[in-house]
Amino acid sequence: ISCPCALGLATPTAIMVGTGKGAQNGILIKSAESLEIAHTINTVVIDKTGTITEGKTQVTDIFTNEKITQDKLLQLCATIEKNSEHPLADAILKKAQEKAIELLNATDFEALNGLGIKAKVEDRLFYIGNKKLLDSKNISLDLFYEKSEKLANEGKTPIFIADESEVLGLIAISDVVKPTSKDAILEFEKMGLEVIMLTGDNYKTANAIAKQININNVIAEVLPQDKEKEIQKLQSLGKKVAMIGDGINDAPALVRADVGIAIGAGTDIAIESANIVLVKSDLLDAVKAIQLSNAVIKNIKQNLFWAFFYNIIGIPLAAGVFYTILGWKLSPMFAGAAMSLSSVTVVLNALRLKLFEPRISKNLLEKNNISKGDKMEKILKVDGMTCGHCKARVEKVVSAIDGVDSVEVDLASKNVTVKMSKDISEQTLSDVIVDAGYEVIK
């Protein structure tokens, strides 16, 4: 009756079923160890761009001094940024493409870690980057300081363009928070986890985004090489840390964390560095991963209990301990059946993990009240539309946004009604309308 099979099956069977269940939910778990450790996590550190936000950046504002036009500034910036791998570069290049601006040739390109980039265009040296870059070159912000502060408070990222002596202009870039990010943060907090946003953006931009999703702890203006150090600091305080990120800069931090979680749409090196990959690039899946880990560990403990229970009761019974006292004895047939039953019980209990459902699913469905096939609707009041051409223009630019199903413009009431198959922020809708030359009132 004494058989180690049940004990041997207790852990690997639960891990195997749990890993399979994770894959069904779009959660790729690379090792059993990461699935086991995830339940001990008490601190979640999340990168901003591309993780909390969509990572689909767009240019919202362009300001210049009197020596250069907006188009010329955009031309210079796009010419240099075409050599950059930074996510913000895509927004600038896209804006230049929309305006059909022809790019020039850039030479001596150099990425300045955590500061920006520099290059020569038409034999002139230009710098593109953040305030720290200008400070390091002793270039004054002048009239652009107040503008940059205002933009940062709105959650936009100000990018400065300067030559060797002065700031030529400022380009503001915004990114949209993913629809489920706020829900994911709430779920983490319900689970008793501390949530921290980690970003290289300036404090004002970072705090503006943090307010939108109710994150209280923000670590901003972190250089790429210092993200790993921030994780190490938290671990030195005795915290078990999960790092969620998507970029090349996040890779060292993902490796350093107790559990590294990569966004599926992120870079190859981030995915390679992580222990868990969220295939759908949804932060809610990180919540599911930790809940799944809790369920697996609970199941393993149950399996071990049943395995020990059978042996603790069965071995003395088979050995005849109770025969002299109670007259109990066990035939070999029943002993063999009990031995098999112990293994079957453990396997069946592990298979119950196939019924695992994240606790968040029902809550979110009730909260959003959106069933499959339902459409969301938003109405914006837009000023400046006067004719059929204006109507067609607004309908065209809004319809181009991913997730927009239909756009109706009423010139008389100035209302723009947008029907969507997924949640799109009002800021995103407003930005494309403003870029088209109209004013969003409400």
Cα–Cα distance measured from residue 354 to residue 21, given in angstroms and rounded to the nearest whole number: 6
Which residues, listed in sequence order, are joined to residue 158 by a DSSP beta bridge? 172
Q: Of 170, 93, 85, 163, nearest to 131 (Cα)?
A: 170
Cα–Cα distance measured from residue 203 to residue 285, given in angstroms and rounded to the nearest whole number: 27
Sign for the CA dihedral angle at 160, 163, 164, 166 comes to negative
Cα–Cα distance measured from residue 44 to residue 67, given in angstroms and rounded to the nearest whole number: 47
Q: Are strands 43-47 and 194-198 parallel, antiparallel or unpaired?
A: parallel
Q: Are 266 and 286 in contact (CB under 8 A)?
A: no
Q: Which of 47, 250, 282, 285 is catalytic?
A: 47
Q: Of 133, 138, 178, 377, nearest to 283 (Cα)?
A: 178
**102 SS3 class:** coil
Which residues, listed in sequence order, are joined to residue 194 by a DSSP beta bridge? 43
Sign for the CA dihedral angle at 69, 74, 79, 84 comes to positive
Tokens of 115: 């500061």
Looking up tokens 């907090």 gives 189
Length of the chain as a residue count:
442
Cα–Cα distance measured from residue 144 to residue 68, given in angstroms and rounded to the nearest whole number: 14
Q: Of 389, 391, 381, 386, nearest to 417 (Cα)?
A: 381
Q: Of 230, 273, 226, 231, nearest to 248 (Cα)?
A: 273
Cα–Cα distance measured from residue 209 to residue 182, given in angstroms and rounded to the nearest whole number: 11
Q: Are 414 and 397 in contact (CB under 8 A)?
A: no
**262 SS3 class:** strand
Q: Are 87 and 247 in contact (CB under 8 A)?
A: yes
Any alpha helices (H) in 176-274, and if so which ranges? 181-190, 203-213, 227-236, 251-256, 268-273
Catalytic: 47?
A: yes
The gap from C-alpha 253 to its chain's centroid, in whole angstroms, comes to 15
Beta-strand (E) ranges in 55-210? 58-64, 106-112, 116-121, 124-129, 157-162, 167-174, 194-198
Give the active site residues: 47
